[in-house]
């Protein structure tokens, strides 16, 4: 029986907290964390307790609202100062996913639109805006699934990387939304989930959520992708992304560009699923996207009882890489399926 997850992030407005699935505890424990301040939400995002570009954006919007809701502000000036600080704190959580900054800008615009109103009315307006961002995320992911499922046939094999499913958004996800919609429609798929070193989002999260939903999923090590493609088991590669440059280059979890190269070699379509909010018109090409680098300890000791390398070994641990638009067969957004050459239609 299918057991879908609860919303990855949701607002408990009555108690003034953000409730989120603690993804650092999965798959062994499904736990909710309650976060009240922008600092707590920032730290949860940095620690990957909340992760996935859409979920990060929704969490940031809710954090902005909570900064207004949970403070005691005698006047608009004090609220303005607090929200400026909250925005800066939340924006510092991670540098690559553009949804974070997009959501904060929306909240900031909502605040300035109601700046002349009493503090209580401003807070209500921010609650409405955060709720709209959440609802739009759910609708966008569902629409991505409805468009993307048209690319999949009964019995086909799908390879995915990292986690761009339910856990990366509020519901459905991006890359896995077509998989969920196919499952709803009785279309049988076989999903191969790359483990996604070094943080194992594919092993810990994607395999967990798909198996929980009753979807056929097989876990592989990242270096096995070429083998399963050569075996003829993969009919499509589907990934999400954290930022799309204006020219159609996409930035996603490190290892994505390698899969795109392999897919091109084996003649397998490579699809990227992303909401329009992930498109960054201010960044002309993928070369301008900031790439987060994380501690080398994630490579050398995170999953081990003892360090697995000598103490003097240097590490390089980028979280993301950029896949050139030339390797992308199509992009799936909530507005439809886009095919090369990518250009201004990304923003229409």
pTM (two decimals): 0.94
Tell me yes or no: is domain 146-347 CATH 3.40.50.10470: yes
By the 8 A CB rule, do 193 and 235 touch?
A: no
**Exposure class string for 99-129: b at 16+ Cβ within 10 A, else e:** bbbbbbebbbebbeebeeeebeebbbbbbeb
**Mean pLDDT of the residues in the chain:** 95
The domain limits of the chain are 9-142, 146-347
Task: Please tell me the CATH code under which domain 9-142 is placed.
Answer: 1.20.120.420
Residue 43 among the catalytic residues: no
pLDDT at 347: 56
- Kindly list the distances between the CA atom of residue 325 and the CA atoms of 120, 240, 329, in Å, as whole numbers in the listed order: 47, 14, 8
Exactly one of 7, 137, 222, 242 is catalytic; name it: 242
Compute the chain's Rg from CA coordinates.
20
Tokens representing 346 are 């990304």
| pLDDT in the model for residue 1 | 39
What's the pLDDT at 95? 84
Q: What is the pLDDT of residue 3?
A: 80
> pLDDT tens, position by position, for the chain (348 residues)?
368 899 999 999 899 999 999 999 999 999 999 999 999 999 999 999 999 999 999 999 999 999 999 998 999 999 999 999 999 999 999 988 789 999 999 999 999 999 899 999 999 999 999 999 999 999 999 999 999 999 999 999 999 999 999 999 999 999 999 999 999 999 999 999 999 999 999 999 999 999 999 999 999 999 999 999 999 999 999 999 999 999 999 999 999 999 999 999 999 999 999 999 999 989 999 999 999 999 999 999 988 889 999 989 999 999 999 999 999 999 999 999 999 887 655 655
Count Cβ atoms within 10 A of the Cβ of residue 2 and give its class: 0-12 exposed, 13-18 middle, 19 or more buried. Answer: exposed
- Structure confidence by residue, pLDDT tens digits, 39-48: 999 999 999 9
């Amino acid at each position: 029986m299918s057991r879908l997850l609860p919303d990855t992030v949701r607002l408990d407005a009555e108690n003034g907290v953000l409730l989120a699935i603690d993804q650092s505890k999965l798959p062994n424990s499904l736990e909710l964390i309650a976060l009240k301040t922008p600092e707590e939400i920032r730290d949860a995002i940095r620690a990957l307790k909340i992760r996935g570009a859409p979920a990060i954006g929704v969490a940031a919007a809710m954090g902005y609202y909570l900064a207004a809701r949970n403070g005691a502000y005698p006047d608009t000036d004090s609220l303005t100062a607090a929200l400026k600080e909250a925005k800066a704190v939340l924006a510092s959580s991670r540098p690559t996913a553009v949804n974070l900054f997009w959501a904060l800008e929306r909240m900031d615009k909502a605040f300035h639109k109601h700046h002349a109103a009493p503090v209580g009315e401003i807070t209500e307006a921010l609650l409405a805006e955060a709720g709209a961002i959440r609802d739009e995320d759910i609708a966008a992911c569902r629409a991505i699934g409805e468009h993307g499922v048209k690319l999949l046939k009964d019995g086909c094999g799908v390879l995915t990387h990292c986690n761009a499913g339910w856990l990366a958004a509020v519901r459905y996800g991006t890359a896995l939304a077509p998989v969920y919609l196919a499952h709803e429609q009785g279309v049988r798929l076989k999903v191969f989930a790359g483990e996604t070193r070094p943080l194992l989002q594919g092993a810990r999260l994607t395999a967990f959520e798909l198996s929980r939903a009753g979807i056929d999923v097989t876990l592989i090590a990242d270096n096995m992708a070429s083998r399963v493609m050569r075996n003829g088991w993969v009919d499509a590669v589907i990934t999400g992304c954290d930022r799309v440059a204006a020219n159609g280059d996409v930035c996603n979890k490190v290892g994505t560009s390698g899969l795109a190269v392999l897919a091109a070699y084996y003649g397998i379509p490579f699809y990227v699923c992303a909401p329009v909010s992930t498109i960054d018109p201010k960044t002309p090409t993928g070369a301008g996207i900031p790439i987060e680098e994380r501690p080398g300890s994630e490579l050398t000791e995170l999953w081990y009882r003892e360090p697995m390398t000598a103490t003097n070994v240097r590490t390089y641990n980028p979280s993301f890489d950029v896949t050139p638009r030339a390797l992308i067969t199509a992009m799936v957004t909530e507005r439809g399926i886009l095919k090369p050459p990518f250009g201004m239609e990304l923003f229409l």
